[in-house]
Structure 1
């Protein structure tokens, strides 16, 4: 009927996608549902999966005090792998949550509940992304390869965590920060305590940013019985965010101290400046947190890319001192 709103080519737009993103504006129409399944229209998740990888690699380089051309491949391979595995993980999440997503305003236009992609097509797309990621993983040492396979456990469990625990953000943290262990091991050949400390710091950081993110869906989640830390904490969320802020900064600082402690004093101080700048950014987010401000919640969540880049910057500078 004339005057009716028409669905855009390639399927309906996703509610929290980045405005004028390349998927909606430049990707072929046939590819858009698959790219949206992989959240290519929302790159923040890829950053949040990638940054712990770079933390782990740089910290391993600080400890070993050596660098090689292969480290450049680890750096790039982690970026490609994070993009693909985030896509595969999100596809798996949408397959698992297809019965819930159609009942939530923010997610009802996702490709599976809106009928743009079948479950079978989604499974094929997920497998293709995982297969290319496997090819990258196989270029690393055997210890890193083993860790890569182990990472599938939290990835597979996470979509179901919101159904049996109030702490699904913890399971997301276990999955999203695994790269800190893997990248460290890809450089050094074995795990070390600084990497484990770094992993724990990332998990607590995930509790911080994904609790903020979960406040977008708090009303819909309550209606359909989905659990989250946002629902659990309620009005006490700012206090819990402060605890997560302090915990992540302390753990990240301790990891930096473990990693750069044997280096020169200037190198150590620069490395420790990373957790300080990271904590400053998280404190800025906490001061601007408003649970009812939907656009503000998205803005704060996305700003964690900048928070996570700060340790990357300072760890890299510390390597040069």
Structure 2
């Protein structure tokens, strides 16, 4: 029979192995950074509350409302001219226009888009759609009606950065003043690229594209993946949505997280955790719209002090 000393050594080895496994999981899920962030958020509230969206002040006003007749929704963008939202489905390849209360207004079939994963408003009638697997950015023009839209004659840009299957371009955001298109790579690793020169809007100038990334900055995003992006013109800040971390981060102009909105049950008035968050957008009044697979619609509104 093993001695008591041998048994204690075995327990110590097992305890050490358990600690190492838990530490590895904590690192993988960025639990240390996430646990520390609310303290930083609280400490810097006075500095940022009046010059940011300040996500802790938001509460859900439409909670997990089903969107009739659709599923497999991905991405979300707000059209300030039409006062409506646009999303895409990647299995049956459609653009879907939604009202601000989550009703389907029209459906536009997509042809030749492969794996459409995100859509972003650029200017009246002009949008960019991503093809996730091929890392294509495709400029399209939308008119009225529901006629099919083909990618064949559309302006396109293929980047091919760190190709790794179904972990490509997952989110888009556009800065209309700075003419910057932000492109989110889902994971392995998480990245936010800044693309200048696409879409090409001035035919009198040469077509020149410049892509910028900042791996050190992106390493500070304590999320496991990126599902969607949104750019707030009033503050110059980005919203970064993570499905796996069930979190929305507000990033300042330097890309540093300054506030957060948890998508877990009980947070911000949510009755249940958001199951699979895929798209986020904001309107001119600062209201936040969020969609989750398969067909759930949420609205968050900032509460008065």
Compute the TM-score of the two structures, normalised by the length of structure 2.
0.29
| Bigger Rg over Cα | 2
Structure with higher helix content: 1
Compute the TM-score of the two structures, normalised by the length of structure 1.
0.28
